[in-house]
Amino acid sequence: MSILVTGGAGYIGSIVTEELIEQGEQVVVFDNLSYGHRAAVHPDAEFIAGDLADRPAVSAIFEHHPIDAIMHFASYTLVGESMEVPFKYLGDNVTNGLNLLREAVDHGVRRFILSSTANLFDQPEDIPIDEDERIIPGSPYGESKYVLERVLHWLDRIYGFRFAALRYFNAAGASPSGQRGEDHEPETHLIPLTLQVALGQRERIVIFGDDYQTRDGTCVRDYIHVTDLARAHILALEALAEGSRTYNLGNGRGFTVREVIDTCRQVTGHPIPAVVGERRPGDPPALIASSDKIRDELGWSPRYPDLETIVAHAWRWHRTHPFGYEG
C-alpha cells in the first residue's frame, strides 16, 4: 500500500512511519516542519515539505502519488495554547483537515485514520472511559478533533469514506529502535520534562497541584507506549474494509504524577527534585481509557504496558539525543 502520513516528521507520525516502513508499506510524508524534524522521517519514506493550508500543494500529492490511504497527524496539539489562541485550532486545525479531506475525496481516496484525543472527555462520568462516554471537548484543541470526527461521519455516509478515529490518551516513550522519540519545542509533557531534570537540563519538576481527589492528590493519566499506538493505527487501517470505527486508546491503567516521577527516579537513578505548584487550568483529575473495544474487535493489546518500560525507552532516547534531533 502507498500511505500518505501528514505530520510524519512529528513524534507519533514519525514512529508510525517507521512501523509502516518496517512492514513493507510505501510511505509519503507531508509535513511543514513547523514542529516536526526532517531527521525524524525514516530514510525510506518519501518526504514532501508542504503545508495543508496550501490546497494546490495537497492536490499535487495525490496527482503525483497513487495514495491508497491517509494517516493524518499534522495538527496543532497544545491544549493550553488552544485556550489562548482558539482560532489556530478551531480555524487552522479544522480547515487544514478539511483541505486534506476534500482533496482525498476528489482524488478517490477512501481510507483515512484520524489522530484524535482524550481531550474529548473533559468531564467523564465513568472511568475507565469507553467510546460511549458523553463527548465534552475540554478545549478548542479537543473541539477541533471532534469537528473532524463529525466530518468523517458524514463523508462515510455520503461517499462511503472509511475512517478510523483513534483517541489517544497519553502517548509516551520512544521507538524501541532507539532512533525516534519526543522532541517538542516547547516541551510541555510530564515524562520528557522529568527526564530533562535527570539529564541536568532542569533543576526540578513542578507537580501541577496535589489537592485532587486521587490516591496521592496528583492527577492520574493513562500512559500508552507510542509504538503500541503505532500498531493500533496499522490494525485499524487493515480493518477499514469492514467499516469505519472509533476507538479509545490507552493502557487501561492510571498513574499519578508522583508515581510517574518515582518511576523516572528508578529508571534513571537520579533523585529528580520535585516541588508542588499550582494546578494547571483545564487538567481533569483522572483520565483512564477503556480500550476493550479495540482489543475485542481488532485483537490489539499493548506490547509495552509497563510504565517502567515506557520510561526506560524514553530515557534511552533522551540520553542519546539530549538536544533532540537537531543536537
Residues 6+ apart with CB under 8 A from 85: none
Exposure string over 94-123, b if 16+ CB within 10 A, otherwise e? bebbebbbebbeeeebbbbbbbbbbbbbbe
Q: Does 206 bind ligand UDP (CB under 6 A)?
A: yes
CA nearest to 274, candidates 167, 198, 179: 198
Which of helix, strand or coil describes residue 115? strand
Spatial strand order of the sheet with 255-256 comes to: 255-256, 220-221, 286-287
Of the residues 35, 141, 212, 247, only one is catalytic, namely 141
Is 190 a binder of ligand UDP (CB under 6 A)?
A: yes
219 vs 311, beta carbon nearer ligand UDP: 219
Question: Applying CB under 6 A, does 170 fall inside the site for ligand UDP?
Answer: yes
Q: Are 103 and 152 in contact (CB under 8 A)?
A: no
Residue 203 to residue 273: CA distance in whole angstroms: 7
Binding region for ligand UDP (CB under 6 A) out of 13-21, 86-94, 126-134, 201-209: 201-209
225 in contact with ligand UDP (CB under 6 A): no
Q: Are 48 and 29 in contact (CB under 8 A)?
A: yes
Q: How far apart are the first and last CA of the chain?
A: 34
Active-site residue 141, yes or no? yes
CB of 279 to ligand UDP, least distance (A): 8
Residue 215 DSSP one-character state: T
177 or 188: CB nearest ligand UDP: 188
Letters for 267-296 (x = contact with ligand UDP by CB under 6 A, - = none) are: -------------x--x-------------
Smallest distance, Å, CB 170 to ligand UDP?
5
User: x/- binding map, residues 120-159, to ligand UDP, per CB under 6 A?
Assistant: ----------------------------------------
Interface with ligand UDP (CB under 6 A), residue total 14
Residues with a catalytic annotation lie at: 141
Q: What does the binding site for ligand UDP look like in residue numbers (CB under 6 A)?
A: 170, 188-190, 193, 205-208, 219, 221, 257, 280, 283
